[in-house]
Structure 1
């Protein structure tokens, strides 16, 4: 499902940092030697190692046709675990930063019409999608909500698209009217939504009657998953390629159990939202607890995110 690009790791130079809105800084990154950067498509993100071993994922929001530069935008979050604080307080032009990716689990699928819904900093992956939809001649509309106009990033860039863009600051107009935006299922229409969890949950509820696959979402934080009523159970993971067998105890993640046995699986977020640890399933039934795979992908059971997901069967064979 996800292009496996976690092996792409390199050091980039911070070229420029720009205030895009109150509390939102964009960071432009270039190769120190002026080389072209790996190509990317709208919806992709990169991993930034900000200090020590602290890794955070940020959506690319620049121009995909510009191979010389990556741009991300970072919201200053007071309750965050240090990533946004580091960017706003310590990172500066001229610094070098370790990057991995790009990786895309929010790719734009070809469609006749798009409804883009963004909340706050959720506008970042949508920017490139709008460029692509516009260049493809697709019909599209953007509904962009935020607390205040001053806190909503990239409004200047969006002005050029005219009345296809609907900017809805909550302090002026209230919250996005999802009932009106998503009033009835529309054939040939895909909905792309990114933003805080309450917005995503509300959009998911409103689109329950739409055809399967109509809604595509990206989460910045993992969706809460209820633990099974019978409690956690241990199981065995067999590594198909190496032949190694590893017991995964209750309360221990697959990726940690594998690491203890000397089997390394690349990880980043460890919350089931970035897709770095996606692993193919050879046998067994995964207990999916990630926020990356769609319902149909989970039902197929051919891959899983081993940082958070577990097994519904006593034995799980992975392509490792």
Structure 2
């Protein structure tokens, strides 16, 4: 887990749609920013102290600024509303070093499926694969054409590559039809609302193409929310940096234990999908309940999301 933060200045705020702002962040001294690759996101520490994750949607080659797109969600937890109301040119904010759990892997071709604001992490991917000359296709759905952000940016690409499907005129994306035509060697990248991603996972599983699917979520899967983070057996957690050993009761979460002990962990989503609380595991067998790590990363057991994770062994040793 990286706790390194940079103080950046809001350079520009533009309306991408009536409900989406595009925010450019720069170093106040003009210094170059840490490198990032398509699929990366940052933790944005809002003025109130609230932490929210936003996908970087600008050009990775531009080391002078980060760009994020923020949808105003009236039914959310308040972070997006605060961002819309407080971020303005000249405002200073704390920003984490970019991290990437949605990295673009090499493939012979790509199919990108975006739902709403889920288009943001895909924009740098399009830029990369198009520059490389790799075949690709984007299918982008939204409630209405007016609600779909960054459509003007997509106009730079050949029309045959981009399909815009507003729900009010085109209906829902035909996920089964799309997946049926995904050839071997084609990577399918998708980001958007939970129901769309759940449906896409199901379609890919039924078609035997789950290994080709890569998704990023803005919320926890329904099944994950229902399992309560796996609060079953008690265990001890040893904090290597703090020199503490804490008891985690059977009915208590690891997160609650760390918060009670005032251990500085940057919790944000608290449901295991954002990656803010990713922590290195030094010893023990972590029990994963997140939707960030890949099956391979879970098997390795080197990192865990401590907001929802627990322990299968009696002792868990963390780099905290």
Shared fold (TM-score, shorter chain, > 0.5)? yes
**Stretch of structure 1 that moved more, 159-168 or 261-270:** 261-270
**TM-score (norm. length: structure 2):** 0.90
C-alpha spacing 1:234/1:192, structure 2 compared with 1 (3 Å): same
> Structure 1: any 5+ residue segments left out of the alignment?
none
Q: Kindly indicate whether residue 308 of structure 2 is the aligned counterpart of residue 308 of structure 1.
A: yes
| Partners of 1:49 and 1:99 within 8 A in 2 | yes
**Stretch of structure 1 that moved more, 256-265 or 308-317:** 256-265
| Partners of 1:255 and 1:264 within 8 A in 2 | no
Count how many residue pairs are aligned between Structure 1 and Structure 2. 316
Distance 1:144 1:101 in 2: 29
Distance 1:8 1:314 in 2: 31
Q: Match of 2:197, SS?
A: helix
1:193-220 C-alpha deviation (Å, 9 max, x unpaired):
1000001001101111445531111111
Q: Match of 2:74, SS?
A: coil
| Partners of 1:25 and 1:73 within 8 A in 2 | yes
**TM-score (norm. length: structure 1):** 0.90
User: Could you tell me how far 1:286 is from its partner in structure 2?
Assistant: 2.6
Task: Specify which of 217, 220, 233 is matched with residue 219 of structure 1.
Answer: 217
C-alpha spacing 1:308/1:166, structure 2 compared with 1 (3 Å): same
Could you tell me which residue of structure 1 aligns to residue 47 of structure 2? 51
Q: Kindly indicate whether residue 116 of structure 2 is the aligned counterpart of residue 110 of structure 1.
A: no
Q: Match of 2:130, SS?
A: helix
User: Could you tell me how far 1:307 is from its partner in structure 2?
Assistant: 1.3
| Partners of 1:24 and 1:153 within 8 A in 2 | yes
C-alpha spacing 1:238/1:13, structure 2 compared with 1 (3 Å): closer
**Stretch of structure 1 that moved more, 294-303 or 132-141:** 294-303
Could you tell me which residue of structure 2 aligns to residue 62 of structure 1? 58
RMSD: 2.3
C-alpha spacing 1:127/1:85, structure 2 compared with 1 (3 Å): same
Could you tell me which residue of structure 1 aligns to residue 270 of structure 2? 270
User: Could you tell me how far 1:261 is from its partner in structure 2?
Assistant: 4.3
**Stretch of structure 1 that moved more, 232-241 or 145-154:** 232-241
Q: Match of 2:199, SS?
A: helix
**Stretch of structure 1 that moved more, 233-242 or 57-66:** 233-242
Could you tell me which residue of structure 2 aligns to residue 88 of structure 1? 84
**Stretch of structure 1 that moved more, 192-201 or 75-84:** 75-84
Q: Match of 2:152, SS?
A: helix
Could you tell me which residue of structure 1 aligns to residue 68 of structure 2? 72
User: Could you tell me how far 1:167 is from its partner in structure 2?
Assistant: 0.5
Distance 1:42 1:167 in 2: 21
Q: Match of 1:141, SS?
A: strand
C-alpha spacing 1:31/1:240, structure 2 compared with 1 (3 Å): closer
User: Could you tell me how far 1:283 is from its partner in structure 2?
Assistant: 4.4
1:94-125 C-alpha deviation (Å, 9 max, x unpaired):
21112112111111111111110100000000
| Partners of 1:29 and 1:69 within 8 A in 2 | yes
